[in-house]
Amino acid sequence: MPEKASSFFVNQLEKIYYQSKALIIHGNIKDVICYKSQYFRMEEFLNKFFTDKGYQMIGHYDLLDGLYFKNRKHRDKYYELYESSDTAKKKENGEEYKGAPSQKNAAATESADLHKSDKNVYKTGDISMLETLRKIRSVMDHDQCPPTVFIIYFPEYLVEVGYIKMDQKQALILLSKLIAIIYPVNDLPKLVVFVADNIGNIPLSLYKENPFCKQIYLTLPDKGERQGFIEVFYKTFYGAVDKNKADNIDNLAVATDGLNFYDIDILRTISHKEKIDIHDEKALIKSFKFNSRKTPWDDLSKKHINNMQDVLQERVKGQNDAIKAIEIIIKKAKVGTPSLKNTDVSTKPKGIFLFCGPTGVGKTSLAKALTYWLFKDENAMIRFDMSEYSKEHSDQKLTGAPPGYIGYGEGGQLTKAVKKKPFSVILFDEVDKMDSKIWDIFLQIFDDGRLTDSSGQTVYFSETIIILTSNIGGSTQPAGDDIDEIRKHYINAVKSFFRNSKNDGGIGRPEILNRIGPDNIIVFNPIISKAVQEEIVKERLFDLKKWCKKRENSFELDFDDSVIKILMAEEEGFPRNGARGVENLIETHIIGQLAEFLCDHTDDEIIGKKIHVSLQKDGNKIVSVIK
């Protein structure tokens, strides 16, 4: 096995265990640990590690199985020390004795051995948390206690987050006292080790500002560790041959970034079940993450991509520059072209865009058009209005409430949506209005292409396109029709927003701007061209005509030239609010008036008839005429 395969976590533990009285191991604890060229579950690893260090009594405890040992001599020593402790003697002389079985009582000892399993687990029968902790404290404080480690699993379940009951408070006090009385024996410290998924679920009082308590975070395996694991089990993958072995191992190690050893082990099973060769690491990863070796991206043909500009320009008018910029990035995503910043693009989103520019120019419309072009379904777009996430702790709505809070376990709005639609365009509208903490979530998505919700479920964004929209700079847009000056204004406004401090109207997060990249900041042009304006107006009116023909009581809608002329000239339309302003005018002065007209006439007067619409100006007021 390569030298790099030895666990960084083990190296940390080697350096820190003798400095501690209590040790919290948290993070990726359900994974296997590489130790002395073998892989062990956490429980087996800790038992072997501390045995190798010379510890003579190693106990394990959780709320379900109680206190148990992996070595019978260790359990016998525990019995012996407890029965000779002051606590046990007081119980025998006063209270009803419910302690460990006496070594003198052969029947009791043999009865305890009935708890022995095939995995050499010797249980004591001690389940009660308070009672067990009292006994452990008595043993650890015994003059004859040898170098000892007691390992407590899932300590986050010992107490409830928030309201703590009396017996749980007593347990915390007992643990604190237990840690305080520990002293070294023959240069080996007695230790209490806590093994937890999430240190945030452990009461702060146990470890905060406690010089006796140290922490080790067990990370996901790095590339070198993954290489070592894959090399050990290389022959067990489908299609594994010696030819190109080194390349196959390296490629799979890169592709499994963010996965743990158990996940990679599942890949072995997938490779055989799905008949996927180890050298086809992309198909293996897709099958693992999305239950399919192919995604909609794989079905994109060159012909379809080369028609992209024409298709999008049909739906979004006046934004050819933006469409061209998107086309380039989509082509890079399709062929998997690496960036100079990161050669591995397989785990990151297919594209990350920041759409900026004036309001009502087609930012949302282009996101919808791109979604339809990619997936043949506009419903594949997941949309979030980020103005609804402006309050503190809004980030929890996206990833889920933490333990102890309302909604915990339900998942987050973002993570749930992407889990349901892993192949999607995700639109985050008006990101400049959201709570600043949400940028940390975006940063993780941009960097890692994955997000873990509050319940520990990982969601992957590698098959998504991320679109952020913003009106940054809209209130200070320069007057006039100089497109280059307007574009430069919005680019500078966006850069200032990310780079400037909060006192200067920014968020002080230049690293986010770097992750998005200058080529991915797409500035939309103001809709100045009269020809483009007329196209947009005609398109919106045509959509209304189609609706009239498709309705059950269908009729034909006819517009005279006054409609287009007045809609284009109205100040609340293109000059002030872009295409969205025109849509609002149509909603108010045509659709609203048409609804009244339909309600005032019978079906016989409407069905199959041609209804004429014209607009007139009465001073500053628009008058609709429908007949």
- Vertex 40 angle, CA 37 and 44, to 5°: 130
Whether the CB-CB separation of 494 and 470 falls below 8 Å is answered with: yes
Which tokens in the block code for residue 318? 């006046």
CATH number of 530-626: 1.10.8.60
Domain 3-218: assigned CATH number = 3.40.50
User: Considering only CA atoms, which of 567, 584, 575 is closest in space to residue 526?
Assistant: 575
When pLDDT is cut at 50, 70 and 90, the band that residue 154 belongs to is confident
DSSP for residue 157: G
Give 240-298 pLDDT, tens digit per residue: 999 999 999 999 999 998 899 999 999 999 999 999 999 999 899 999 988 888 888 88
Q: If you average pLDDT over every residue of the chain, what do you get?
A: 84
Higher pLDDT, 299 or 278: 278
pLDDT at residue 116 greater than cutoff 80: no
pLDDT-based confidence at residue 561 (cuts at 50, 70, 90): confident
Q: Which two tokens stand for residue 29?
A: 């604890």
Which tops the pLDDT comparison, 493 or 625? 493
Determine the angle formed by the axes of helices 86-93 and 129-140, rounding to 10 degrees.
130
pLDDT in tens, 512-526: 999 998 889 999 988
Least confident of 115-129, 470-484, 574-588: 115-129
Q: Which CATH class is domain 302-523?
A: alpha beta
**C-alpha to C-alpha distance for 518 and 428, rounded to whole angstroms:** 19
pLDDT of residue 273: 94
The closest of 204, 353, 370, 227 to 296, measured between CA atoms, is 370
Q: What is the pLDDT of residue 407?
A: 58
Strand partners, 596: none
Distance CA 89, CA 543 (A): 90
Tokens encoding 229: 């694991």
pLDDT for res 579: 85
**Does residue 84 carry a pLDDT above 70?**
yes
CA–CA distance, 205 with 197 (Å, rounded to integer): 18
Q: Which of 143-147, 320-324, 333-337, 609-613 has the lowest mean pLDDT?
A: 333-337
